[in-house]
Amino acid sequence: MLRNKKYFFTFLIGLIVLSLVDGLLAQINPVFLNTGPMLKSITHLNDDNFDETYCPRCTVLYPEPTPGMFLGVSVGVNLISYKTTLFATVSSEPDCSPVQNGAGVAPMFEISGEFPIGEGMQNFFIFKASYDSKSAKLSIVNSDPKCYTFTNSFSASLNYLALNAGYKYNFSSAPSLYQLGVELCVSAGIIITGNFNKTVTVSTGEVVKNSVPIDGIRSILWGLRGQFSYDIPLSPNGSWTATPFLGYEYPLTKVDNTNRNWSVSTLYAGMSLYTFINL
């Protein structure tokens, strides 16, 4: 619980810092002279009060949406949290080295598309496909010293093909290319691998390792994902952007249909690289 609170406050502080930076950059954002997905430049556009002697090269910018989409690739890390009931790791000795709950760190890789809705490059329909690992170790509870078998380590290999669809909103409208955004997605994780991995020591002192399929595992893991992101332009016209992100996935279904009552939640962070594609 203490660890989760620390993550939450870190997340909150990061959001506040990003919001302050976003407001500052919106004021000092440089003028872009090239046309791009979000901007078109027109010199002295309908400006009767414009003083050319004071600023002969100034340009008035206004947003002009271009039909297209942003295509991106992402890499990140998942901070995994398992919640389970107490369950046995050795079927023949259920009171020996049972496990409950767990945590771990795992990678994620993603391809995503953002489709603008309306004008201003502020609202988007988003779709993402990712390799999403939720593998982690489970915590071993002290067992009866009279046991013949002791479990030294017990972990789960959970890897999914995650398909996410939802909505993204940028707090700043064009022409500000520095964008703080928030998104909400429904996630469907299709199971790729699901195994229990354990290392046990038997009474003879022999160490045995094995991996077995997780019984009762669900083929699809549903979740709800909330995420904050910050777009940083890499090219003068905004056609390339780097986007750090931070988010949380709340489980809508259990990992399996057994009495383990197993749920997995994820705090994740990473970096995306986007390019604009004209359609």
Q: What tens digit of pLDDT does each residue of 202-213 get?
A: 767 778 888 999
Confidence label for 25 from pLDDT (cuts 50, 70 and 90): very low
205-236 residue pLDDT tens: 778 888 999 999 999 999 999 999 999 988 87
The confidence score (pLDDT) of residue 42 equals 39
Give a yes or no: residue 21 inside a domain: yes
Confidence label for 27 from pLDDT (cuts 50, 70 and 90): very low
Give a yes or no: residue 61 inside a domain: no
Full residue range of the structural domain in which residue 218 is found: 2-36+66-278
In Å, what is the CA distance from 4 to each residue of 59, 103, 181, 265? 49, 11, 23, 11
Give a yes or no: residue 45 inside a domain: no
Give a yes or no: residue 42 inside a domain: no
210 vs 196: CA distance, rounded Å: 8
108-144 residue pLDDT tens: 999 999 999 887 778 999 999 999 999 999 998 876 6
207 vs 227: CA distance, rounded Å: 43
Q: Phi/psi class of residue 118: alpha, beta or left (left: φ > 0; alpha: ψ in -120 to 50)?
A: left
128 vs 160: CA distance, rounded Å: 13
Tokens of 180: 């703080």
Confidence label for 18 from pLDDT (cuts 50, 70 and 90): low
Give yes or no for residue 256 having a pLDDT over 60: yes
The confidence score (pLDDT) of residue 59 equals 43
Confidence label for 33 from pLDDT (cuts 50, 70 and 90): very low
In Å, what is the CA distance from 153 to each residue of 85, 141, 195, 206, 208? 17, 11, 14, 14, 11
Task: Enumerate the β-bridge partners of residue 247.
Answer: 227, 268
**pLDDT more than 90, % of the chain:** 50
32 vs 45: CA distance, rounded Å: 15
Give a yes or no: residue 255 inside a domain: yes
HSE-up of residue 247 (Cα within 13 Å, Cβ side): 26
133 vs 61: CA distance, rounded Å: 44
148 vs 155: CA distance, rounded Å: 21
Contact 247, 214 (CB under 8 A): no
Give yes or no for residue 41 having a pLDDT over 80: no
The confidence score (pLDDT) of residue 17 equals 55
Task: Enumerate the β-bridge partners of residue 123.
Answer: 117, 169
The confidence score (pLDDT) of residue 89 equals 84
Q: What are phi and psi of 38, to 5 degrees?
A: -115, -15
92-108 residue pLDDT tens: 777 778 899 999 999 99
Handedness of CA 232, 117, 222, 194 (dihedral sign): negative
Q: What is the CATH number of the domain that holds 193?
A: 2.40.160.20
Give yes or no for residue 255 having a pLDDT over 60: yes
Give a yes or no: residue 56 inside a domain: no
The confidence score (pLDDT) of residue 62 equals 44
- CA dihedral 64→67→69→70, nearest 10 degrees, is -30
Fill in the amino acid letter for 203: S
Stated pTM of the model: 0.75
Rg of the chain (C-alpha set): 25
Give yes or no for residue 36 having a pLDDT over 60: no
Segment 199-204 mean pLDDT: 76
Give a yes or no: residue 60 inside a domain: no
Give a yes or no: residue 43 inside a domain: no
- Per the structure, the count of domains in the chain is 1
Give yes or no for residue 63 having a pLDDT over 90: no
167-191 residue pLDDT tens: 999 987 754 467 899 999 999 999 9
224 vs 205: CA distance, rounded Å: 46
Q: Look at 29 and 194; give whichever has higher pLDDT.
A: 194
